[in-house]
Amino acid sequence: MIDWDDVRYFLAAARGGSVRAAAKRLGVNHATVLRRIAQLEERLGTQMFEKLPSGYRLTPAGDEVLELAIQMEASSHQLETRVFGRDQSVRGLLRVTLTPILATHLLMPDFAEFARLHPDIEMEILSSGELANLTNREADVAIRVVYDRKTLPLNLHGLKGPELFGGVYLSRERLAALREDVPDPIRWIVISMHGIPEWASEGEVRTTGAPFRVTDAAAEIAAVRQGLGITTLPCFVGDADPLLTRVPGADLHMYGTVWLLTQGETRKTKRVRLFTEFISRRLTAYTPLLRGLSVSRE
Amino acid sequence: MIDWDDVRYFLAAARGGSVRAAAKRLGVNHATVLRRIAQLEERLGTQMFEKLPSGYRLTPAGDEVLELAIQMEASSHQLETRVFGRDQSVRGLLRVTLTPILATHLLMPDFAEFARLHPDIEMEILSSGELANLTNREADVAIRVVYDRKTLPLNLHGLKGPELFGGVYLSRERLAALREDVPDPIRWIVISMHGIPEWASEGEVRTTGAPFRVTDAAAEIAAVRQGLGITTLPCFVGDADPLLTRVPGADLHMYGTVWLLTQGETRKTKRVRLFTEFISRRLTAYTPLLRGLSVSRE
DNA sequence: CCCGGCCGGATCGTTTACGCACCACTGATG
DNA sequence: CATCAGTGGTGCGTAAACGATCCGGCCGGG
């Protein structure tokens, strides 16, 4: 009889493309992955990988195994979510994934209050890097900004939140200096991956020089606060920052819509229900801020 | 992350109803099953069993886990069969399950010849006790006597063999003694589980005394050879045995039909094809013997 | 060129999980 | 009532699995 857990190692290796990548994902030593795959191949009597110097590549036999391994994984994930869905206690873990910018500039105070209200709920905020996969039960709740509703995964249950508008911002100091005709260059600050949105206009400000590229939103905000130039920001970031102000003459445009996403089984949980209801109320209250209506036109 | 192999232990325990029964099936120590289930329960954060002194009983949560565990098992079995189906080499293992009586009294010489013809095929004959499950890949080929075609599993591929007739037999010595009017009791020898078939008639012989009950066919044959009485036997057993002869006046009746069963994926294998073709030819050659036509009426 | 990063693979101590023996308990059976 | 065949549960010594480390090969950028 084969060891079912070996299939899990196989799956990681098939996806990672190499033993070492799989080991990293699984959080184990690469020698372990090596051994378990060798064991599975021996027990099945088939070679599932071509062992190249550049990594592992699936053989035709491995392709077939992969298909069934994915099935096993699906069952395993369902198993976990079903068990978790039965858990109606207030104690326990609740994992939330969202974009870093929403976490740091909007919702962290609400998370804090929720944590105060429910001290028995152990919370984990996953706001680093890529969006966690709900179906894999890497997280229980996802808060995402959706640009096109069609991109919403169908297997998730969505709760639509307020719409999110963005505008063009620069530092108040810089704007004041402009009116005094100080001829410093004003640059477009852009996140390398995204670039400048089509709707962004420079308004009454003229940019000069090459774009200033940063890798993430945190650096973007830091740059614009330093008066380096202008950039597009969600209104809730720009309007809430006392150092920043909107570029006169530049219009607001819709960014996307905030969605609260949960998965079928896990959303039965009391913890998840409490959290989504709480955050949903808060998001509703934030509607003016998110739409950019919270500041009077200057 | 849960250990997928723990699910296999859980499944065995859920089916066996106790830790020790599961351990026996899995071929491991019962302490291991105990530990792995405890580990799985801890990682899932749920109790899956009520731990009674009389054994383990599933909790409602355990019921849900069981459902998914069965799904995982199905994927695992498919995985094994698919990989096995790809194996076109003549070397390797071939497992055959059949009733003990077919093995010992009819096909063993053919198995021996097949093994001589293909020395690289490692053969395993499973003729003890219950019929192995093909879908679980406990065996690759099954040879079964089917009484009602409707009982054939639909997921298996069947190759119909000859029909099997049975008759009523007693020892030649005893028959001779009867004609000399020796007044020893003649008993019906029956296998406890089966009893006497409806079609069985005593023919020209009168049975006396209580039935003589045995537990298996081997004991039944031994008993009838000792002249203990009369019994129903497949023709290929009774006619082939020089010590036995049919009871005069008792008719032959159809027992059932021999079927050669294979499973979808495994039957693509060269080993399985070679074997089924070989045995199928032999069975065809045995048709007269199996139908009871190989002996002239006495 | 050479160097750094990544790959699979082998070796070697150490930890972990296993089998074994044993216990307490239960429930049927003689 | 004693026995016996079951059950789950528990320490303990050992064997198997694991992590750490090193090695040789490969490949692309400086």
The tens digit of pLDDT for each residue in A57-68 reads 999 899 999 999
Q: What share of chain A is helix, strand, coil (3-state, %, to 5)?
A: 45, 25, 35
Closest by CA to B73, choosing from B4, B126, B18, is: B4
b/e map A221-233, b = 16+ CB within 10 Å: bebbbebbbbbbb
Q: For chain B, which ranges sit under pLDDT 50? A: 297-298
Residue B248 contacts residue B178 (beta carbons within 8 Å): no
What pLDDT is stored for residue A208 in this prediction?
77
Residue A3 has pLDDT above 50, yes or no: yes
Band of pLDDT at residue A37, cut at 50, 70 and 90: very high
β partners of residue B156:
B263
CB A69 within 8 A of CB B79: yes
pLDDT at A296 over 60: no
C-alpha to C-alpha distance for A274 and B37, rounded to whole angstroms: 31
| Predicted local confidence at residue B96, as pLDDT | 92
Separation between Cα atoms, residue A109 and residue B112, nearest integer Å: 79
pLDDT, residue A225, reads: 93
In whole angstroms, give the CA distance from residue A10 to residue A284: 45
Q: Is the pLDDT reported for residue A154 higher than 80?
A: no
Confirm whether any atom of chain D, the nucleic acid strand, is less than 7 Å from CB of B256: no
* For residues A74-89, average pLDDT: 88
Q: How far apart are CA B159 and CA B291, in angstroms?
A: 18
Angle, CA A85 vertex, CA A80 and CA A86 arms, to 5°: 105
Kind of pairing, strands B156-171 and B229-234? antiparallel
Chain B partners within 8 Å of A2 (Cβ): 76, 79-80
Token digits for B194?
């089966």
Q: Indicate the average pLDDT of chain A.
A: 88
End-to-end CA distance of chain A: 74
Percentage of chain A modeled with pLDDT above 70: 95
pLDDT of residue A143: 92
Q: Give the dihedral sign, CA B213/B215/B217/B221.
A: negative
Which residues are registered as beta bridge partners of A97? A126, A142
Interface residue B138 vs chain A (CB under 8 A): no
pLDDT tens-place string over residues A10-27: 999 999 999 999 999 999
Our measurement of CA A32 to C1' C11, in angstroms, reads 14
C-alpha closest to that of A266 among A122, A98, A111, A87: A87
- Interatomic CA–C1' length for residue B28 and nucleotide D11, angstroms: 19
Average pLDDT score over residue span A247-255: 86
The C-alpha angle with vertex A257 and arms to A255 and A261, in degrees rounded to 5, equals: 140
* Cβ of B52 near strand D (distance < 7 A): yes
Give me the amino acid identity at A177: A
Residue lying closest to nucleotide C18, CA to C1': B32
Three-state secondary structure along chain B?
Answer: CCCHHHHHHHHHHHHHCCHHHHHHHHCCCHHHHHHHHHHHHHHHCCCCEEEECCEEEECHHHHHHHHHHHHHHHHHHHHHHHHHHHCCCCCEEEEEEECHHHHHHHHHHHHHHHHHHCCCEEEEEECCCCCCCCCCCCCCEEEEEECCHHHCCCCEEEEEEEEEEEEEEEEHHHHHHHHCCCCCCCEEEEECCCCCCCCCCCCCCCCCCCCEEECCHHHHHHHHHCCCEEEEEEHHHHCCCCCEEECCCCCCEEEEEEEEEEECCHHHCHHHHHHHHHHHHHHHHCHHHHHCCCCCCC
Q: Is the pLDDT of residue A155 over 80?
A: no
In chain A, residues 21 through 40 whose Cβ sits under 7 angstroms from any atom of nucleic acid strand D:
28-32, 35-36
List residues bridging with B96 in a β-sheet. B125, B141
Q: Is the dihedral of CA B73, B76, B80, B86 positive or negative?
A: positive
CA distance B25 to B10: 12
Interface of A with B in 64-103 (CB under 8 A): 64-65, 68-69, 71-72, 75-76, 78-80, 82-84, 86-87, 92
B224: its two tokens: 């009838």
Give the model's pLDDT for residue A20.
94
- pTM exceeds cut of 0.75: no
> DSSP alpha helices (H): ranges in A87-130?
100-102, 108-117
Which pairing describes strands B92-98 and B187-191: parallel, antiparallel, or unpaired?
A: unpaired
Distance C10 C1' – B71 CA (angstroms): 38
Look-up of token digits 């919702």 = A107
Query: Residue A149's pLDDT is what?
Result: 78
The chain A residue lying nearest B137, using CA atoms, is A1
Find the CB nearest A44 among B7, B8, B80.
B80
Q: Judge whether residue B28 contacts strand C, using its CB and a 7 Å cut-off.
A: yes
Q: Is B143 within 8 Å of B97 (Cβ atoms)?
A: yes
Distance CA B244, CA B241 (A): 5
CA of A212 and C1' of D28: distance in angstroms?
29
CB A15 within 8 A of CB A8: no
B4, A80: Cβ pair inside 8 Å?
no
* Cα dihedral sign, B141-B144-B149-B152: negative
Integer distance in angstroms from CA A54 to C1' C2? 20
Distance B57 CA to D8 C1' (A): 12
Out of A61, A68, A79, the one facing B65 most closely (by C-beta) is A79
Q: Which residues pair with A172 in a beta bridge?
A: none
CB B290 within 8 A of CB B236: yes
Whole-angstrom CA distances from B148 to A72, B99, B254 are 36, 17, 12
Residues from chain A that touch B71, judged by Cβ atoms under 8 A, are 71, 75, 78
Domains along the sequence of chain A with CATH: 4-86 (1.10.10.10), 89-298 (3.40.190.290)
Please return the burial class of A142, using the count of CB atoms within 10 Å of its CB with bins 0-12, 13-18 and 19+.
buried
Strands A187-191 and B141-146: unpaired
Q: Cα–Cα distance between A75 and A18 in angstroms, integer?
A: 25
* Any strand D atom closer than 7 Å to A3 CB: no
Distance CA A246, CA A287 (A): 19
Cα dist from A76 to A95, B6, B78, whole Å: 19, 11, 16
Of A147 and B108, the structure prediction assigns the larger pLDDT to B108
**What sign does the CA torsion over A109, A111, A114, A115 have?**
negative
Q: Which residues of B touch A8 (CB under 8 A)?
A: 1, 4
User: In the prediction, which pLDDT does B293 show?
Assistant: 85
Those nucleotides of strand D lying less than 7 Å from any protein Cβ are 6-11, 17-21, 24-27
Give the torsion sign (CA, B206, B212, B218, B224).
Answer: negative
Which pLDDT value is given to residue A294? Answer: 72
Other residues' Cβ atoms within 10 Å of the Cβ of residue B196: 17
CB-based contact (8 Å) between B184 and chain A?
no
User: Between chains, do A86 and B60 touch, taking CB under 8 Å as contact?
Assistant: yes
